[in-house]
Structure 1
Amino acid sequence: MKKVLHHISRLTEKIEKFIIGFSIVVMMVNSTANAMGRYFFNKSIFFSEELNQFLIVSVTFIGFAYAVRKGRNIRMTAVYDALGYRAKKVIATLIAITTGLLMFYLAYLSYFYVLDLQSLNRLSPALQFPVYIIYSIIPIGLTMAGIQFLISFLMNVTHREIYISHDLIESQSDVTEDVV
């Protein structure tokens, strides 16, 4: 079971890294080209701001899934830290399945939102690009986050350790990193 989960996790990680990296590079090139055009030629790229907004949506939702994978999502641990091992294990397992199901439910709702946008045939103002294609990243990102929470749940159910994410066991997450 661990090998299957590991394979799924690695595949989705490659997709996430590509989307995030590609989006950030395109935002950088777009912003740089727009600034250069504005300062050197007194001409802005008319779609630059709109393109960056679309890319920020992809970085936000796919980045959320990536943060969940790395155990870097927001966790409220004031009460949790004071509990014993068994209580922590139960709570971590319940949080993983509950949050995973919530992510899948939000992905389901956002899928229908994207379908509504498609039926309206709404186009972006500058690029005249179908908006539903851009916002389709939302259900994809939420689904990928749901998959990560589901993997965390399965790891907690099938292993003795407390898994924060697929690769992160609780004792590993307690170590603080020095920032230089």
Structure 2
Amino acid sequence: MKNVLRKVSRISERIEEFIVCFSIVLIMLNSTANAMGRYFFGKSIFFSEELNQFLIVSVTFIGFAYAVRKGRNIRMTAVYDSLGHRSRKVITTAISITTAMLLFYLAYKAFFYVQELKDINRLSPALEFPVYIIYSIIPIGLAMAGLQYLISFVMNLLHREIHLSHDVIEGATTGLGDSI
């Protein structure tokens, strides 16, 4: 079971890294080209702002899934840190499955929103591109984050350690001098 989870985790990690890196580089190139166009030629790229908005959506939702994978999501730990191992394990396990179910539900609802955008054939103003294609990243990102929480839930059921994600164990060092 752990090998299956590891394989699923690695594949989705590569997809997340590619999408986030590609989007950030494209935002940088697009913004630079737009600024140079305005400065040197007095003309902006007419779709630059719209493209950046679409890319920010992908960085936000896929980046969220990536942050969950790396155990870098926001956690409220004021009370949690004062509890014993067993209590922290129960809380982490419960949070993992609850959050996974919530994210899968949100992905389900977002899917229907994207389907509605497709049905009404909504186009972006500048590019006149179907927005459902761009916004389809929202249910994908939510589902990928949900998958990471589900993997964390399973890892917490199978192991004694407290798993914040597949690879991140609470209290283990990150190699950067800090502990998680």
Unpaired runs of 5+ residues, structure 2, are none
Q: How many residues are paired up?
A: 178
Unpaired runs of 5+ residues, structure 1, are none
Corresponding residue for residue 70 of structure 1 = 70
Cα RMSD after superposing both structures: 1.4
Give, in whole Å, the separation in 2 of the partners of 1:173 and 1:35.
42
Give, in whole Å, the separation in 1 of the partners of 2:45 and 2:158.
53
Change (3 A) 1:70 1:93: same
Question: What is the Cα deviation at residue 177 of structure 1?
Answer: 4.0
Give, in whole Å, the separation in 1 of the partners of 2:177 and 2:63.
21
| One-letter amino acid matched to 2:115 | L
Corresponding residue for residue 133 of structure 1 = 133
Change (3 A) 1:93 1:173: farther
Give, in whole Å, the separation in 1 of the partners of 2:58 and 2:174.
30
| One-letter amino acid matched to 2:162 | I
Mapping 1:18-167, distance limit 5 Å: 18-167=18-167
Corresponding residue for residue 4 of structure 1 = 4
**TM-score, normalised via structure 2 length:** 0.96
- Note the alpha carbon deviations across 1:77-135, whole angstroms, 9 max, x for none: 11111111111110000000000110000000000000111111000000000011110
Give, in whole Å, the separation in 2 of the partners of 1:2 and 1:79.
31
- 2:172 alignment partner, SS class: helix
Give, in whole Å, the separation in 1 of the partners of 2:32 and 2:175.
38
Give, in whole Å, the separation in 2 of the partners of 1:9 and 1:174.
18
Question: What is the Cα deviation at residue 175 of structure 1?
Answer: 9.0
**TM-score, normalised via structure 1 length:** 0.96
Question: What is the Cα deviation at residue 172 of structure 1?
Answer: 1.4
- 1:169 alignment partner, SS class: coil
Give, in whole Å, the separation in 2 of the partners of 1:20 and 1:177.
25
| One-letter amino acid matched to 2:49 | E
Give, in whole Å, the separation in 2 of the partners of 1:63 and 1:174.
19
Give, in whole Å, the separation in 1 of the partners of 2:90 and 2:169.
14
Question: What is the Cα deviation at residue 173 of structure 1?
Answer: 5.9
